[in-house]
Amino acid sequence: MKNSTADPKGLSDTASTILVIILVLALAVVVYVLVSGTADPKYMKKTVYVAGEAGITPIGQGSSPDYVLTFLPKSGDPFYLTGQKQGIGTPVTLMLESPEGRNISLDTSSISGKLYGKTLYIYQKNQASACDFVITETPPKTGFPIMTKGIWNVKMIDDDVHVLVNTYPTDVKMGSTSLPVTYLVGTGSGAVSNRADCSQAAGSCGGICPLTYNTSPCNRTYSRFIGNNFLTFPNDPTLSYTGDMTLSVTIRPTTTGNANDPNTWHQIVGKGQLDAANNEIDNYQLFQIGDKLVFEWNDRNNPSVHYQAITTDPQLTANSWKDISVSVSGGTLTLYNNGVPQNLVYSRGVDPRSITPPVPNPPVVRLLDTPNPVTIGKQNGPGASSYFYFNGDIGGISLYNRGLSQAEIESQLCKA
């Protein structure tokens, strides 16, 4: 038990301690001045003062507009954003903190002049990286990636004294509930996995690296595959799934054809391996077969058992964009085409032309973790006859560690 009786000496002891600290600090300043000959003015400077407000504003017309983050500096000391074209006053770095705790730097190169009274628009540049944001003086066009729900903080850092000056919070209530764990994209010279925590991992090209473009609807980044090239990403925890997950991808095949003709079979993306004995070991794999789609996996409880979920109706049209998502939630698989769930038939085997009995309809989806790499545009097989190269464009390759709902998938469709 602690004695609560006050010590009459406590106050004077505390005051003495504070006085000693003040004297030590004063002595340190004097010593610095004697050594350097002058006092660095940045240690004597007060931090910049800016009164501002963060908010959100709708972009576009209709019942479901896109929402963009805004920042309005209202009054205070002269300042400019580090990286802007021109400005006077105190240099300030504007950082963005997301609801998940990501600290995001902003591209300020389009900003110029005095900023007071200007509404500044903050948004993600493109879908390829959830950590690549820009701040502009003009509102963006519709179709930019939607923000995640929750409290976003605009942070102002005084570059002269390296101190956080202020934080301006705002609540984003209309948006996505989560980010992809990783987003895979070819770069034209290689491949990059952009992760939700802002880290990156390098992939590699097979053959000529696919060229990349930003001319798809909503300016999404995509890679062009010409039937003899592909991307590979080494196995890592952001690519492996054994429970709930979602694989989303945007594709534009050059041709379709008859689903019964193996010449029309093309791998889109997968973490699988076909060995020389024709045994297929897949964590997950998405295939085009003619104008239909197939999702494949091996059963975690029975690793030698390989399942296929095959669409019963045509899904693809040559030279036409389609947003495809496969969601696994609680052992149930749903395949969406442009946000619409599709009818599926299930097969136990590796040949989608025949439905091999016996197979539960539908089987419980228990994904088998594998050490295989992820390949895009080609199956990971032992020889040319099993490569199944893709012809056309692939983009928006996103992996989530949970099964997205139909409403969530619809909210992320490109409206352009």
Band (pLDDT 50/70/90 cuts) for residue 45 is: low
Is the per-residue pLDDT at 279 higher than 70? yes
Residue 18 confidence (pLDDT): 47
Is the per-residue pLDDT at 379 higher than 50? yes
Q: What is the mean pLDDT of residues 363-391?
A: 94
Contacts of 202 (CB under 8 A, 6+ apart): 190, 191, 192, 193
Q: Buried b / exposed e across 55-94, counting CB within 10 Å, b at 16+?
A: ebeebbeeeeebbbbbbbbeebeebbbebbeebeebbbbb
307-355 pLDDT, tens digit per residue, is: 999 999 999 999 999 999 999 999 999 999 999 999 999 999 889 988 7
Is the per-residue pLDDT at 396 higher than 90? no
Q: Are 286 and 306 in contact (CB under 8 A)?
A: no
Q: What six digits make up the tokens of 4?
A: 């609560």
Is the per-residue pLDDT at 259 higher than 50? yes
The full set of domain ranges for the chain reads 50-172, 182-411
279 or 13: which leads in pLDDT: 279
Q: Are 322 and 340 in contact (CB under 8 A)?
A: no
Q: What is the mean pLDDT of residues 160-184?
A: 87
199-229 pLDDT, tens digit per residue, is: 889 999 988 889 888 777 777 788 999 999 9
Band (pLDDT 50/70/90 cuts) for residue 95 is: very high
Q: What is the mean pLDDT of residues 104-125?
A: 93
Q: Are 320 and 252 in contact (CB under 8 A)?
A: yes
Residue 92 confidence (pLDDT): 94
Q: What is the CATH number assigned to the segment(s) 182-411? A: 2.60.120.200
Q: Are 356 and 348 in contact (CB under 8 A)?
A: yes
Quote the percentage of the chain above a pLDDT of 90.
58
Is the per-residue pLDDT at 13 higher than 70? no
Give the other-Cβ count within 10 Å of 399's Cβ. Answer: 25
Tell me whether strands 103-107 and 133-136 are parallel, antiparallel or unpaired. Answer: parallel
Coil vs helix vs strand at 407: helix
342 or 66: which leads in pLDDT: 342
